[in-house]
């Protein structure tokens, strides 16, 4: 077995970062206990003194790197201050780079898309490269404000504008940077030669930006389990390497230099996304080993890439894309080895098909625990879809790159468009197969990958030792799957991916479900949450489906209360009450766990407020513009909100509150079921934090 101390370094370093993200008291206790345990166990039991010291040092370094990064973030405090901003507009609308605040240069970018209105907006034509100046009220972005949340961290956002106070002045016209020019060029070429339906898919395949794909298509790719074709990663880097090697094969050192130059340029154009950086580092290490005539070591390359990335960007450890990228390559390495050892076809075509299928299985198994953690489900048809679609996507990707580099081949774009349309139609066909809902592995993820490692053949333990260890890991995965997540307290608000608005406040084993109860999806969400101690509050009498409420009352032991002002002679009211459904305005509902109140105006329940354990949560239904204005002027601020159509206005007025919605929004500071899937806001102490 190869000595891979870099694996120990990567694992220990990641543990240190994870420990540093815990609350102050807990992380100190856990850090001290872990270091003491590891030191004693390795030092005295296995006599591995060097390894014991290495583990302790790497854990401490990871702990320190995370803490230092957070100190830097929190040291620059301009929250809610009126400042003068000067910055250069990027190719992303309303995003500024190279910024100064009150004459001082700041790291990171400023997003002013969150300001709904600013003076002179309608008459202002903004272009990438322009240097803009304006006075505004800024809001800090802290990636650890509500747990660890990485989308803005990856995009290098540092501040958001809450309000722009003066007209935006164009200081100079300027020109875009090289990467911005490349993205603008790709966008212009693809939008010109492809249809509106295929342009978004093509652009996302090349650059990783899904903003131009319609919501229905993007959701279909996600459900089928092939949305990774839009996340620039090892798949894309592999295609780039294949293209370069097609021209330079024999001279290994020249091929290495040229390949890495092209891969680096491509990563630069794609904003150095964590998945492509991981692939770039691995590619360099593997090609460098080949150039020296040595056997490449895949696992060491993965571990080196992880350490290099986390040293610079430690919060990537908590990013779903980074986790799935690393998980996929580990799965490919572990599982593909087993399949290729067991199946050795002699026919070249069959061998390639087996290899393709093995890679698909490995990538799926590698991302499985993270898919369950973040989305609660996994595609049944994903394996087949990947085997069928990925080879086609690889050809499309390489064809697009060639046509972009050699514009004289523009005549090929219509053919590319037809192939993309075929891929999209095939995806919609695969979408018919339902997803499989499973429990997440929670902390069993570590045991899960240890199990894959044992089965892969990398580990040279004896058969008996390996079997005992494998059984222990299987049991640990099962136990961790059955156990709840890290949050030990049962105080949380959960949101569900249903057609209507459904969420559940869970306090000490008691469920309080809130729903519009419009659609069957709402009914299914409520049924999945029904337990012995459950009360359902229907938030809008005017829009809910009374028959669904009657069905629930007849088949469950739910206590159902409809929050509404109604005419007591209304037929629906009489029918509901006959079925033991309580219809009334809840102005103050109290029990030993929660207090629920209604914010009412002219008989309309504008908002339902839930207070529990020192935290407040408000549900805001669909409102007219007038009702929105009245609500925001008269309702006090709460810790968090769930809003149907007023989420942008609420976030603007209450920037320090958690705001969630079921609807799509490109504002990454608003949590959305559409983007996140099922998610939970948990109570930590007296603070509500986001926890997928």
CA distances from residue 345 to 351, 353, 355, 390, 540 in whole angstroms, order as listed = 5, 10, 10, 22, 62
Who has greater pLDDT, 251 or 599?
Answer: 599
Angle at 574 (CA atoms; ends 569, 578), nearest 5 degrees: 160
Domain boundary among 140, 172, 204: 172
Within 10 angstroms of residue 253's Cβ, the number of other Cβ atoms is 11
CA distances from residue 372 to 300, 320, 442 in whole angstroms, order as listed = 27, 11, 9
* Average pLDDT score over the chain: 76
Show the tokens assigned to 350.
Answer: 């069959």
- Residue 470 within any structural domain of the chain: yes
Both 112 and 237 in one domain: the answer is no
- Residue 185 within any structural domain of the chain: yes
Taking the chain, what is the end-to-end CA distance rounded to the nearest angstrom? 38
Give yes or no for a contact between 548 and 523, defined as CB atoms under 8 angstroms apart: yes
Q: Which domain holds residue 238?
A: 180-437
pLDDT one-digit tens code per residue, 634-678: 777 888 888 878 888 888 888 878 888 877 676 767 877 665 666
CA distance 397 to 679: 33
Both 154 and 264 in one domain: the answer is no
Confidence of residue 487 (pLDDT cuts 50, 70, 90): very low
CA distances from residue 7 to 3, 14, 52, 300, 319 in whole angstroms, order as listed = 9, 11, 14, 7, 20
- Residue 190 within any structural domain of the chain: yes
CA distance 589 to 548: 23
Q: Please give the pLDDT value at position 112.
A: 79
Show the tokens assigned to 92.
Answer: 């992303």
Show the tokens assigned to 511.
Answer: 């469920």
Within 10 angstroms of residue 452's Cβ, the number of other Cβ atoms is 21
Both 545 and 415 in one domain: the answer is no
- Residue 486 within any structural domain of the chain: no
- Beta-bridge partner residues of 163: 137
Show the tokens assigned to 598.
Answer: 């209604």
Who has greater pLDDT, 108 or 76?
Answer: 108
Q: Helix, strand or coil for residue 684?
A: strand
Helix, strand, coil % in the chain, rounded to nearest 5:
50, 20, 30
The dihedrals phi and psi of 41, each to the nearest 5 degrees, come to -65, -50
E strands present in 74-223: 81-89, 95-101, 104-105, 109-111, 131-140, 157-164, 169-172
E strands present in 516-624: 534-538, 559-563, 582-584, 589-590, 595-601, 604-612, 615-620
Give yes or no for a contact between 254 and 262, defined as CB atoms under 8 angstroms apart: no
* Residue from 50, 76, 63 nearest 22 by CA: 63
pLDDT one-digit tens code per residue, 604-620: 777 888 887 777 888 88
CA distance 541 to 60: 56
CA distance 359 to 364: 8
E strands present in 419-461: 435-437
- Residue 215 within any structural domain of the chain: yes
Both 104 and 143 in one domain: the answer is yes
Residue 129 Rama label (left phi>0; alpha psi -120 to 50; beta)? left
CA distance 158 to 108: 5
Both 475 and 556 in one domain: the answer is no
Confidence of residue 527 (pLDDT cuts 50, 70, 90): confident
Q: What's the average model confidence in pLDDT over 461-485?
A: 58
Rg (CA), the chain: 27
Q: What's the average model confidence in pLDDT over 57-79?
A: 81
What is this structure's pTM?
0.69
CA distance 110 to 98: 9
Q: Quick one: which H or E segment has residue 443?
A: none
Both 249 and 337 in one domain: the answer is yes
CA atoms within 13 A on the CB side of 182: 14
Both 412 and 464 in one domain: the answer is no
Q: Helix, strand or coil for residue 100?
A: strand
Both 382 and 350 in one domain: the answer is yes
Q: What's the average model confidence in pLDDT over 610-635?
A: 79
Q: Helix, strand or coil for residue 213?
A: coil
For the ranges 231-235, 627-631, 662-666, the one whose mean pLDDT is highest: 627-631
CATH number at residue 548: 3.60.15.10
Whether residue 417 has pLDDT greater than 60: yes
- Beta-bridge partner residues of 605: 600
Instruction: Spell 552-572 as b/e; 16+ CB within 10 A means b.
Output: bbeeeebebbbbbebeeeeeb
Whether residue 124 has pLDDT greater than 80: no
Give yes or no for a contact between 316 and 322, defined as CB atoms under 8 angstroms apart: yes
Show the tokens assigned to 281.
Answer: 């580092």
- Residue 485 within any structural domain of the chain: no
* Residue from 619, 627, 581 nearest 597 by CA: 619
Residue 119 Rama label (left phi>0; alpha psi -120 to 50; beta)? beta
Domain boundary among 50, 75, 100: 75
Show the tokens assigned to 494.
Answer: 């959960």
Both 166 and 195 in one domain: the answer is no
Give yes or no for a contact between 134 and 168, defined as CB atoms under 8 angstroms apart: yes
- Residue 506 within any structural domain of the chain: yes
Which residues lie below 8 Å from residue 625, measured CB to CB, with a gap of 6+? none
Whether residue 679 has pLDDT greater than 70: no
Whether residue 45 has pLDDT greater than 50: yes
Q: What's the average model confidence in pLDDT over 539-545?
A: 69
CATH number at residue 148: 2.40.50
Domain boundary among 155, 172, 189: 172
CA distance 108 to 621: 36
How many separate domains does the chain show?
5
Which residues lie below 8 Å from residue 349, measured CB to CB, with a gap of 6+? none
Within 10 angstroms of residue 122's Cβ, the number of other Cβ atoms is 6
Give yes or no for a contact between 689 and 682, defined as CB atoms under 8 angstroms apart: yes
Confidence of residue 441 (pLDDT cuts 50, 70, 90): low
- Beta-bridge partner residues of 642: 619, 660
Q: Please give the pLDDT value at position 86.
A: 92
Both 609 and 596 in one domain: the answer is yes
Both 536 and 681 in one domain: the answer is yes
Both 36 and 64 in one domain: the answer is yes
Which residues lie below 8 Å from residue 441, measured CB to CB, with a gap of 6+? 369, 372, 373, 448, 477, 480, 481
Confidence of residue 488 (pLDDT cuts 50, 70, 90): very low
- Residue 487 within any structural domain of the chain: no
Q: Please give the pLDDT value at position 1.
A: 44
């Amino acid at each position: 077995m190869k000595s891979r101390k870099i694996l120990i370094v990567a694992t220990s370093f990641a543990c240190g970062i994870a420990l540093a993200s815990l609350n102050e008291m807990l992380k100190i206790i856990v850090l001290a206990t872990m270091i003491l345990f590891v030191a004693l166990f390795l030092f005295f039991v296995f006599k591995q003194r060097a390894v014991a010291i290495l583990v302790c040092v790497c854990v401490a370094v990871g702990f320190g790197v995370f803490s230092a990064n957070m100190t830097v973030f929190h040291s620059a405090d301009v929250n809610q201050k009126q400042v003068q901003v000067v910055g250069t507009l990027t190719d992303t609308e309303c995003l500024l780079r190279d910024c100064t605040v009150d004459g001082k240069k700041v790291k990171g970018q400023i997003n002013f898309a969150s300001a709904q209105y600013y003076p002179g907006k309608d008459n202002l034509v903004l272009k990438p490269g322009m240097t803009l100046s304006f006075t505004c009220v800024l809001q800090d972005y802290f990636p650890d404000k509500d747990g660890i949340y990485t989308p803005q961290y990856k995009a290098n956002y540092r501040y958001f504008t809450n309000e722009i106070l003066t007209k935006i002045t164009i200081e100079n016209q300027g020109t875009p940077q090289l990467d911005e020019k490349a993205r603008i060029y790709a966008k212009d070429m693809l939008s010109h030669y492809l249809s509106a339906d295929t342009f978004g898919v093509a652009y996302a395949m090349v650059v990783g930006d899904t903003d131009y794909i319609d919501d229905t298509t993007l959701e279909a790719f996600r459900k089928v389990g092939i949305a990774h074709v839009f996340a620039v990663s090892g798949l894309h880097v592999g295609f780039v390497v294949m293209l370069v090697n097609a021209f330079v094969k024999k001279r290994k050192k020249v091929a290495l230099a040229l390949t890495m130059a092209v891969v680096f340029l491509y990563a630069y154009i794609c904003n150095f996304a964590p998945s492509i950086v991981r692939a770039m580092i691995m590619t360099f290490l593997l090609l460098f080993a080949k150039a020296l005539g040595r056997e490449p070591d895949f696992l060491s390359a993965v571990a080196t890439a992880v350490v290099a990335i986390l040293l610079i960007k430690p919060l990537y450890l908590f990013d779903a894309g980074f986790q799935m990228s690393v998980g996929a390559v580990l799965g490919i390495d572990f599982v593909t080895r087993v399949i290729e050892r067991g199946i050795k076809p002699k026919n070249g075509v069959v061998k390639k098909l087996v290899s393709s299928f093995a890679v698909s299985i490995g990538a799926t198994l590698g991302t499985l625990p993270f898919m369950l953690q973040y989305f609660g489900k996994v595609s049944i048809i994903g394996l087949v879809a990947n085997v069928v679609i990925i080879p086609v996507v690889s050809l499309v990707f390489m064809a697009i790159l060639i046509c972009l580099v050699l514009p004289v081949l523009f005549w090929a774009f219509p053919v590319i468009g037809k192939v993309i349309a075929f891929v999209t139609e095939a995806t919609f066909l695969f979408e018919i197969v339902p997803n499989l809902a499973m429990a997440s592995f929670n902390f069993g993820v570590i045991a899960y990958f240890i199990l894959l490692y044992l089965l892969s053949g990398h580990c040279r333990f004896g058969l008996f030792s390996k079997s005992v260890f494998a059984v222990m890991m299987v049991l640990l995965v099962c136990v961790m799957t059955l156990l709840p997540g890290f949050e030990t307290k049962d105080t949380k608000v959960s949101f569900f991916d249903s057609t209507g608005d459904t969420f559940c406040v869970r306090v000490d084993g008691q469920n309080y479900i809130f729903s519009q109860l419009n659609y069957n999806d709402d009914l299914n969400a409520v049924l999945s949450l029904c337990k012995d101690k459950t009360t359902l509050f229907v938030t809008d009498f005017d829009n809910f489906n009374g028959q669904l409420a009657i069905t629930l009352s007849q088949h469950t032991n739910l206590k159902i209360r409809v929050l509404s002002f109604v005419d007591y002679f209304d037929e629906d009211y009489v029918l509901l009450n006959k079925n033991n459904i309580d219809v009334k305005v809840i102005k103050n509902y109290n029990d030993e766990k929660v207090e629920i109140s209604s914010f009412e105006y002219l008989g309309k329940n504008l908002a339902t407020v839930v207070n529990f354990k020192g935290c407040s949560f408000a549900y805001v239904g669909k409102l007219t513009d007038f009702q929105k204005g009245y609500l925001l002027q008269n309702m006090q601020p709460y810790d968090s909100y769930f809003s149907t159509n007023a989420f942008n206005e609420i976030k603007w007025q209450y920037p320090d509150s958690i705001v969630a919605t079921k609807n799509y929004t490109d504002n990454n500071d608003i949590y959305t079921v559409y983007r996140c899937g099922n998610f939970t806001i948990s109570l930590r102490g007296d603070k509500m934090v986001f926890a997928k």
